[in-house]
Structure 1
Amino acid sequence: MRPALPEAFLSVPIAHRALHDIENARPENSRAAIEAAIEAGYGIEIDLQLTSDAQAMVFHDYDMTRLTGQPGPIQQIPARQAQQTALLKGDGAGIPSLEDVLTLVAGRVPLLIELKDQDGAMGPNIGALEAATVRALQGYQGPVALMSFNPHSVVELARLAPDIPRGIVTCSYQPKVELLPETVCDHLRGIPDFDRAHASFISHEAKDLSRPRVAELKASGVPILCWTIRSPEEEAQARLVADNVTFEGYLAEHSA
């Protein structure tokens, strides 16, 4: 089953890690950034990491240093401790759980959720984060879609929640950039798992939108999202191919 991506994900610009702005005490993936995105009427993209007690937390990095000033992997602390760990340059609030964010958004804007790779090399050692995510989403009302770079994760999401739209996050896969073996990059670059995952869309690296595989998927009717746009000029260029953008650092225009 390949559930359709709701139209809202194609018509409303999506704020990357929510509408974050450190100068205004809104760190990425924070409650304040999410509230600002809702108020501005943007869709919201967030990232999920797993805690030691198998809870889904809204946090991008594997190590907490950059975002909290406290070193160590977020996977090695429980959810309660994560929620009490304040984000740097914010309003004092801690790392939100997925449940926190779902309660806050409450279906008011589209929510695009990226599950970060838990295997370490885009392999099959996954499952706990996917299960935690699906548990949290039970009963949620509102436009939501799930995605991951790891195709094994997307396949698992298809098994656990066949009705929720899901996509594969894709890029040019340069080994030195992605810190992955060349063989893994060569395999994933061609987006070979799209059909196996019964994916509904891709979210592709904006600078690589000219890739023939992207054009092939677009020609077959697959929605193309892209990341990360940082100026109106980049947005205009990306929209020649992409159906919608994930943006940060400026305010994307709403469609008329």
Structure 2
Amino acid sequence: MSGRPDTDVLTARPFAHRGLHGNGASENGMAAFRAAIAAGHGIECDVRISRDSVAFVFHDDDLGRMTGRAGPIADQDGAQLDGARLPDGGAVPRLSDLLALCDGMTPLLVEIKTNGWRVAKIAAAVAQDLDAWPNAPVAVMAFNPLVLRWFVLQRPRQLRGWVVSQQNKGLMRRWAERALALWLAKPDFLACDIRDLPSPFTARMRSRGVPVLSWTVRTPDDQARAARHADQIIHELGRG
């Protein structure tokens, strides 16, 4: 990984999945992110893009589950989304607001969510926000290797990871996906489904010096498995 950022930031502390939510704090909301920072955890979040190319911290394609509004997030402008409210009463955060909260101190995993193969707009929007914090401990990651390919070509020094799950996939499909993703994305790390561990693939990558994070760790058994077969966890432990 010569010339790339140091990956030690990925293994130094656990990452709270969508923030330390529960106990009244909504997932991917500022209260959950503040709770994660207070607990000394890193933060994992999801990012989608508004119609006018603003990066918002939000998991679902549709607004309904978390805000009660109907329709895709991509169909609303940033100013409209600023008025949406999560179940805990907080706003849907902009990525720029979360970066300011982390203040270049708290490690942050930004999972970029896409539909289909057109990725340039959301990748560029995330990169623009990250450019304001050039020395912050931030990594981008995605299931879609084309997102990571954009960063390979446009922001090659950005720490990046491939999110992978082998669930409900045959051997040939798994092999083909891996080969293509590793060639396109050149990931600095993997974020692996806890259900897939142990895995010869992740063991091989770890032997090559590629850290493996495991998601989503929810139980003591998950935690013990990750301790044996991964380098750090993305978790919902202790959630209320």
TM-score, normalised to structure 2, is 0.92
- Partner Cα distance (2:149, 2:6) in 1: 16
- Partner Cα distance (1:83, 1:161) in 2: 28
- Partner Cα distance (2:66, 2:113) in 1: 16
- State the shift of 1:129 in Å: 0.4
- Partner Cα distance (1:183, 1:66) in 2: 35
- Partner Cα distance (1:239, 1:192) in 2: 28
- State the shift of 1:209 in Å: 1.9
Aligned length: 237
- State the shift of 1:186 in Å: 6.5
- State the shift of 1:241 in Å: 0.8
Runs of 4+ in 1 over 4 A off after TM superposition: 182-186
Deviates more, 1:10-19 or 1:100-109: 100-109
Which residue number corresponds to residue 143 of structure 1? 137
1:36 is aligned to 2:35: yes
- Partner Cα distance (2:60, 2:94) in 1: 14
Deviates more, 1:146-155 or 1:202-211: 202-211
Which residue number corresponds to residue 238 of structure 1? 226
Which residue number corresponds to residue 120 of structure 2? 127
Q: 1:155 to 1:208 in 2, by over 3 A?
A: same
Which residue number corresponds to residue 157 of structure 1? 151
Q: CA RMSD in A?
A: 2.1
SS in 2 for 1:11: coil
- The residue identity in structure 2 corresponding to 1:16 is H
- Partner Cα distance (1:145, 1:240) in 2: 23
- State the shift of 1:174 in Å: 2.2
- State the shift of 1:6 in Å: 3.2
Q: 1:104 aligns with which of 101, 105, 130?
A: 101
Q: 1:117 aligns with which of 114, 117, 127?
A: 114
Which residue number corresponds to residue 74 of structure 2? 75
- The residue identity in structure 2 corresponding to 1:234 is D
Q: 2:176 aligns with which of 176, 187, 206?
A: 187
- State the shift of 1:184 in Å: 6.7
SS in 1 for 2:185: coil
Structure 2 unaligned blocks of 5 or more? none
Which residue number corresponds to residue 4 of structure 2? 3
Which residue number corresponds to residue 235 of structure 2? 247
- Partner Cα distance (2:237, 2:211) in 1: 24
Matches within 5 A, 1:40-59: 40-59=39-58
